[in-house]
Amino acid sequence: MCGSFQPASEMSEDQATDFGYQRVAWDEKARRVRGVFDSVAGRYDLMNDLMSGGAHRLWKRFTLALTGLRPGQAALDVAGGTGDLAAGLARQVGTRGRVVLSDINAAMLERGRDRLTDCGVVGNVEYVQADAQCLPFRSETFDCVTIGFGLRNVTDKSAALASMFRVLRPGGQLLVLEFSRPVLPGLKPLYDAYSFGILPKLGKWVAHDEPSYRYLAESIRMHPPQEKLLEMMRAAALEGCRYHNLSGGIVAVHRGYKY
C-alpha cells in the first residue's frame, strides 16, 4: 500500500485498519506488526509453549492431520514463522516433494530456517520472504496452503485469502489455524482474565516485551470470529468451507478447497 501517512483522527474509515484496539493507517499496521515480530523472534517458541501450556503443538498436529498431502506434492506455509507447520509438511511430502516456508518478517524467517536446519529438515524446504497479500508464486502451484496464527496480523485479510486461493492447484486445500472466539460456556471470562492479566506479564518477564503481548491479546479480539471468517473464505471463491473448534473455540481451524 502506498500513500502519505495521515493521523488516525484524519483518516476515513476505508483508509484505516486495526492494530490491536488502535486504528492506524493501512501501511502503518504492516510496519508495527513487523516491529512486534522483530522484537519477539528470539523468544517466540519459548513464549508459545508458556502461553499455551504446550497446547499449540496439539493444535498444529491437528491441522497437519487435515492436509491430505501425499509424497511428491507441494505445500506452502504462509506466515510460517519458526517453521512448526513447515516441518510437518516436509515430512508429509517427503524427499520428492516441495515445501515453501514464507514469512514477511526477515527475523522470523531466519529463525525458522535455522531451526529446521538444526532439526535436519533440509533438502525439500525453501524459504521465501513474502507478503501474504500478494504471494510471489505462479498460480496453481501448491497442493496445500497453510497459515498458522498469521492471518490476524495481515492488513487486508480478503486479499491474503484471494492470494492463497490463486496459488492453490485445483483440488488443493487451504488451512487457516487461528485464535478465535470461545464457545464453551463460562470460558470467555476466564480467557479474558488470562489474556489481559497474565499474558502481558509473561511477555514482560520472559520476552522483555509487554506491549507486544498486549497487542497479541487485542489482535485476537479484533480477528473475525468463526462464522465471519467462513464467509470471507467463501467470498474468496473457496468451496466446501468449514471449521473445527479446538480448546473450546479459543482456536479454530478453517478449511476450504479450490475446485
Looking at the fold, whether 125 and 245 belong to one and the same domain comes out as: yes
Q: Is residue 84 part of a domain?
A: yes
CA dihedral 91, 176, 147, 90 (to 10 degrees): 10
Reported as a single tens digit per residue, the pLDDT across 32-77 is: 888 888 888 888 888 888 899 999 999 999 999 999 999 999 999 9
Q: Is residue 27 part of a domain?
A: no
Reported as a single tens digit per residue, the pLDDT across 152-183 is: 999 999 999 999 999 999 999 999 999 999 99
Q: Name the grid cell of 107.
A: 527475523
Interacting residues of 67 by C-beta distance below 8 A, sequence separation 6+ = 75, 89, 92, 144, 146, 173, 175
Reported as a single tens digit per residue, the pLDDT across 226-236 is: 999 999 999 99
Distances (CA, A) of 159 to 173, 216, 255: 17, 22, 17
Looking at the fold, whether 97 and 202 belong to one and the same domain comes out as: no
Q: Is residue 210 part of a domain?
A: yes
**Residue 146 · residue 63 · CB < 8 Å:** yes
Residue 134 belongs to domain spanning: 41-181+224-257
Q: Is residue 34 part of a domain?
A: no
| Side-chain-facing half-sphere of 180: CA atoms under 13 Å | 25
Q: Is residue 138 part of a domain?
A: yes
Looking at the fold, whether 198 and 230 belong to one and the same domain comes out as: no
CATH number at residue 144: 3.40.50.150
Q: Is residue 3 part of a domain?
A: no
**Residue 151 · residue 103 · CB < 8 Å:** no
**Residue 80 · residue 148 · CB < 8 Å:** yes
3-state secondary structure of 141: coil
Q: Is residue 25 part of a domain?
A: no
Q: Could you tell me which residues are beta bridge partners of residue 77?
A: 101, 146
Q: Is residue 22 part of a domain?
A: no
Phi-psi region of 248 (alpha: psi -120 to 50; beta: other; left: phi over 0): left
* Total count of domains within the chain: 2
Looking at the fold, whether 120 and 165 belong to one and the same domain comes out as: yes
pTM for this one?
A: 0.91
